Amino acid sequence: MIMSFRAFISIDIDANPRIVEFFERLKRLGPSFKVVDPDLIHLTLKFLGETDEGLVPKIRCAMERSVAGIGPMLLKLKKAGAFPRDHNMRVIWIGIEGGEGIGLIAGNLDDELSDLGFKKENRSFVPHITITRVREGASVGEARELLRMYDDVFFGEQLVDTIRLKKSILGPKGPTYSTVEELKLRPP
């Protein structure tokens, strides 16, 4: 019997005190704003969706090829914003500066994994950390004001030296993630 799991490839992000403060302020906006658990924040490089467990070795090889020649990098977590726009927000995020290497890895993953049948992205990669999902019909006035307050805030830096293939299990209290494969970035 073929088993599958919901999968994505990501970089784990540490929730420092500045990020946690922002999370706490977002939680106060009410139940229409589903704030991610700070212990689960990550930067998604490629969402795979339902994935056959038998493909894991090939996915690992694609990950290895995607990071070849790309060493560890320092990311700056800066600025808060919303997708698609703050008047019609669906996602509230923290931005990434210095993410050129991250963009390169994401593009490589997109190309490499398309050979395994995973759909290529039809939009440009924008490195960000999703921290809140906004439910349809939410009153976004207070959220817009909060985003203005955090428009140019520096949330800290993080050294990135690992990418991970993650398994996601959706439950009534939110998702749980586990690492299936882990790959260290090596200096060129």
Contact present, 164 and 11 (Cβ < 8 Å)? yes
User: What is the spatial distance between Cα 188 and Cα 186, in angstroms, rounded to a whole number?
Assistant: 6
Lookup: tokens for 142: 């207070």
Catalytic residue among 78, 128, 166, 167: 128
User: What is the spatial distance between Cα 124 and Cα 145, in angstroms, rounded to a whole number?
Assistant: 28
Is 87 tagged catalytic? no
How many CB atoms are closer than 10 A to CB 81?
17
Beta bridge partners, 43, equal: 11
How many CB atoms are closer than 10 A to CB 181?
17
| Peptide bond before residue 38 is cis, with ω within 30 degrees of 0 | no
Catalytic residue among 6, 42, 90, 133: 42
Is 42 tagged catalytic? yes
- Residue labelled with tokens 């700056």: 76
Residues recognised as catalytic = 42, 128
